[in-house]
Structure 1
């Protein structure tokens, strides 16, 4: 992976990955299966509405998704054997750069700490895809990403329909559009095995939380930023009360208080 750092210490990520072979990995909802059973305990009262544990988990997991899918976008562009796979890679880069910017924008507003690396399970997905070549790469790329995007799709809908926090709703709107786009471009590659994908999507193995949870950043660690492509097409997140130029509205309410 290629890293660059700006004057503020922020780390920007780009380029392709070259990683080692791992055993076959089955997506397990990326840790977001917790949403169906997570407590809806309010952890903070904010000017955008109450923030629950599952709201916070959603923001963290959207960020973590980009930390492994964004670099795989570069792998798809570089290693895909068809134009459809390369185009799917470009969509991953564009979509997750925009979602990453949204997460980094709202996280401090909601007092949420974001990870800088993906979960162990997600790293295993990257390893498996990048250890393959040719048509095997195309198949692993399309199927694993179709399964993981399909598994998160229903979770996004649940968050969108239940959260009382307007910032989380805005992120869910954006994530819904992005994930649907990524599902679509993976299917257009022609490599998706739907029987296998739907089976693994709906019957994931039970993995320990440590495999599904991205580690917290170290104190003082610079924030990793997924830089957008030269000509991004994704629409930036709409922040309630924000002016069109991106500046906050006049007389903003106080910052959230943690409960």
Structure 2
């Protein structure tokens, strides 16, 4: 099944309209592509190295990705009609629960506030898939998830290659492995329309930043936990084993 795009950027799958896929975690959000150093200022000096705006945004966006892909994985376990889609769904739940553990560990260390809700656009993806059933669900599931993971893959690599913060670097390592795994399992469903997916995943964002940004949690709201499955295989980052970069020291460790 093929999908089409309106000139407004709306995404049409089987007659259901969701928000524009191309904008999700695109260049305007994730900082993909070359940018002058002045556009990515250091916002804090930490024991694990300087923290930039892009570093902080990366941690927030990894958390936000889990807030919609984890429940979509749960949907796939219930609604998927093929073995490949069910397998991909297990990978979503497993991978994002492990990433979430890492995000929740390093965020307070870096004084980063994590969201408890995905962005409006990401919530739109969940709405679309919640409304789907049967083969339509399988097709939409594979194409939406292949699009979104393909869009962020290069950005993860950029953060990994440029950050000076050892905690953010470790999260990027984990995210790189997870995103590549999720791209692979989506492709193995045999349902991905590569022609349109690859053309759109690098398209410039068409939605306002407010639709692409997860809202901050209300003051005092407990942090939502994405519970790992009983048979989890993905491993969170061993934060306790991460030391400071050369010249730094982790408080209370003597390193």
Q: Same fold (TM over 0.5)?
A: yes
Partner of 2:111: 111
Q: What is the deviation of 1:203? A: 1.8
Alignment root-mean-square deviation, CA: 2.0
Partner of 1:128: 128
Q: For each residue in 1:128-166, what CA deviation from the matched residue of structure 2 results, as whole angstroms up to 9, or x when unmatched?
A: 122111111000000000000000000000000000000
Q: Which runs of 5+ in 2 are unaligned?
A: 1-14, 244-249
Partner of 2:51: 51
Q: Does 1:210 align with 2:215?
A: no
Partner of 1:172: 172
- 1:166–1:240 contact (8 Å) kept in structure 2: no
- 2:80–2:137 contact (8 Å) kept in structure 1: yes
Q: What is the deviation of 1:202? A: 1.8
Partner of 2:27: 33
Distance 1:118 1:79, change over 3 A: same
Partner of 1:252: 253
1:1-259 → structure 2 map (5 Å cutoff):
23-34=17-28, 35-36=31-32, 37=35, 39-239=39-239, 241-242=241-242, 251-252=252-253
Q: For each residue in 1:3-42, what CA deviation from the matched residue of structure 2 results, as whole angstroms up to 9, or x when unmatched?
A: xxxxxxxxxxxxxxxxxx9623332343452314482200
- 1:22–1:124 contact (8 Å) kept in structure 2: no
Distance 1:48 1:253, change over 3 A: farther
- 1:167–1:240 contact (8 Å) kept in structure 2: no
Partner of 2:6: none
Whole-Å separation in 1 of the counterparts to 2:64 and 2:218: 16
SS of residue in 2 equivalent to 1:61: helix
- 2:23–2:206 contact (8 Å) kept in structure 1: no
Query: TM-score w.r.t. structure 2 length?
Result: 0.85
Q: What is the deviation of 1:251? A: 3.4
Distance 1:58 1:64, change over 3 A: same
Distance 1:126 1:162, change over 3 A: same
SS of residue in 1 equivalent to 2:185: helix
Q: Which runs of 5+ in 1 are unaligned?
A: 1-20, 244-248, 255-259
Partner of 2:247: none
- 2:147–2:201 contact (8 Å) kept in structure 1: yes
Q: What is the deviation of 1:195? A: 0.4
Q: What is the deviation of 1:217? A: 0.3
SS of residue in 1 equivalent to 2:225: strand
Distance 1:112 1:64, change over 3 A: same
SS of residue in 2 equivalent to 1:107: helix
Whole-Å separation in 2 of the counterparts to 1:192 and 1:49: 40
How many residue pairs were aligned?
Answer: 229
- 2:115–2:216 contact (8 Å) kept in structure 1: yes
